[in-house]
Amino acid sequence: MKKALLALVLAANALCLSAAELQFVESAPDETVYGSSLTARPQAVWLEMIGAASKTLDIEEFYIADQAGEVLEPVLAAVKEAVERGVKVRFIVDKVMLKESEKSLPALKEAGVETRVIDFKKAGGGVQHAKFFIVDGAEIYTGSQNFDWRSLKHIHELGLRIKSAKAASDFTKIFEGDWALAGGAEPKKMFAKKGKIAITASKPEKASVNGGEVTYSLAYSPVGFVPKGADAEITELIKALGAAKKTIRGQVMTYSLMEHGSKRWAELDSAFRKAAARGVKVELVFADWSMGGKGDRDIKALAKTDNIEIKIAVLPQHSTGMIPFSRVEHLKYLVIDGETGYVTTSNWGPGYFLTSRGTAVFMKGAAGAAVLEDIFAKTWTGPYAQPVDPLKEYQPVKRS
């Protein structure tokens, strides 16, 4: 009997040691009330992860934006130090933001970082909008934070650190495919139905969050660049919204049914409306950057729907004065029924789900949902979010 009990204890301990772990990482803009006690802060997490790399470090970002003396500077230094200790470091950025990235790329190349520029507009029609890095094939980071000093200090953001070899394996498949595209490979040979890239890791996977248990799975955008065996982000998002029974709460920077010359695309809008029609309470927060253009008519129309409430968040400028392209709600997530969570790199529009590279994490379990509910509550009841006014003529936000 004692031997059997001991065996169970050892098995349980082994399971705990091998289980994946999720950590929510929130950028709390300086001089705001934000910053959940259930989340970590990005600079410390990034420095810990990059500093622990011993073999490989693969980084895929929309762009790089550093400023002397600011919070990204130590992170870039840590990337260079990784090369010095023998770590193979590769870095992908998108062509559309190359003018900004080129301010930092030469120093990375000189330090020994292998760099490539991906033209995702040519490959898929959009941009490489994902933000992630993979350490030693053992853990990954993905979220709304760009590799931008402002994303760490002056923008409200949310990401996830996932300690899991399975997640790292899947993300590596994405990275390798995009690395090949950036090197000149044909998209159809990498990500088409009969392409070279395939996901083999099992899903979903159990993981711990703040001591509780969840299950999570990964999904990707755009629909035509999803590896074999993997899930398309928009498909999983619509499925999650379709299963909602009580509440849908979330935030995103921009929301649109048409963008960048696309045709009108109402799949996500319809999913919110259908949920509301069956009695689900929908509460959404959009950034002020969504307003003052053609897109705000869709937001105003959605706000007129029974069971749907929408607020617009306006973050105050910093005491040092205006900081270009900052002081905004840039995080992208949903929490459904206090049980299902969704954290993504995609804004909510056709240009992101259908033509741009994005990555998303879906999770089930109260432990993960509780973190998202806490972040949402601080925004919804906080001093920066006000109900959208369908009759108001909003002016475009001055970003620079």
Which two tokens mark 288? Answer: 């002020």
Cα distance between residue 238 and residue 271, in whole Å = 6
* Number of domains into which the chain is organized: 1
Sign of the torsion angle spanned by Cα atoms 111, 113, 119, 125: negative
Q: 215-253 pLDDT, tens per residue?
A: 999 999 999 999 999 999 999 999 999 999 999 999 999
Q: What is the pTM of this model?
A: 0.94
Across 117-145, average pLDDT: 97
In the predicted structure, residue 16 carries a pLDDT above the cut 70: no
Q: Is 49 helix (H, G, I), strand (E, B) or coil?
A: helix
Q: How confident is the model at residue 18 (pLDDT cuts 50, 70, 90)?
A: low
Q: How confident is the model at residue 109 (pLDDT cuts 50, 70, 90)?
A: very high
Cα distance between residue 102 and residue 393, in whole Å = 38
Q: 348-363 pLDDT, tens per residue?
A: 999 999 999 999 999 9
Cα distance between residue 76 and residue 43, in whole Å = 11
Identify whether 393 is part of a domain. no
354's CB contacts (< 8 A; 6+ apart) are 125, 126, 221, 222, 223, 234, 262, 265
In the predicted structure, residue 280 carries a pLDDT above the cut 50: yes
Cα distance between residue 221 and residue 291, in whole Å = 25
In the predicted structure, residue 7 carries a pLDDT above the cut 80: no
Identify whether 8 is part of a domain. no
Across 100-121, average pLDDT: 98
Q: What is the pLDDT of residue 8?
A: 42
Q: How confident is the model at residue 202 (pLDDT cuts 50, 70, 90)?
A: confident
Identify whether 398 is part of a domain. no
Cα distance between residue 317 and residue 255, in whole Å = 23
Q: What is the pLDDT of residue 24?
A: 98
Asked if residue 222 lies in contact with residue 124, where contact means CB atoms within 8 angstroms, the answer is yes
Across 139-157, average pLDDT: 98
Asked if residue 151 lies in contact with residue 145, where contact means CB atoms within 8 angstroms, the answer is yes
Across 5-30, average pLDDT: 68
- Which residue in the block uniquely carries the two structure tokens 């910093």? 318
Identify whether 285 is part of a domain. yes
Asked if residue 299 lies in contact with residue 286, where contact means CB atoms within 8 angstroms, the answer is yes
Q: How confident is the model at residue 193 (pLDDT cuts 50, 70, 90)?
A: confident
Identify whether 1 is part of a domain. no
Asked if residue 292 lies in contact with residue 396, where contact means CB atoms within 8 angstroms, the answer is yes
Identify whether 400 is part of a domain. no
In the predicted structure, residue 397 carries a pLDDT above the cut 80: yes
Q: 54-79 pLDDT, tens per residue?
A: 999 999 999 999 999 999 999 999 99
Q: What is the pLDDT of residue 11?
A: 40
Domain extent at residue 224: 19-387
Identify whether 392 is part of a domain. no
Identify whether 127 is part of a domain. yes
* CATH number, domain with residue 163: 3.30.870.10
Across 117-142, average pLDDT: 97
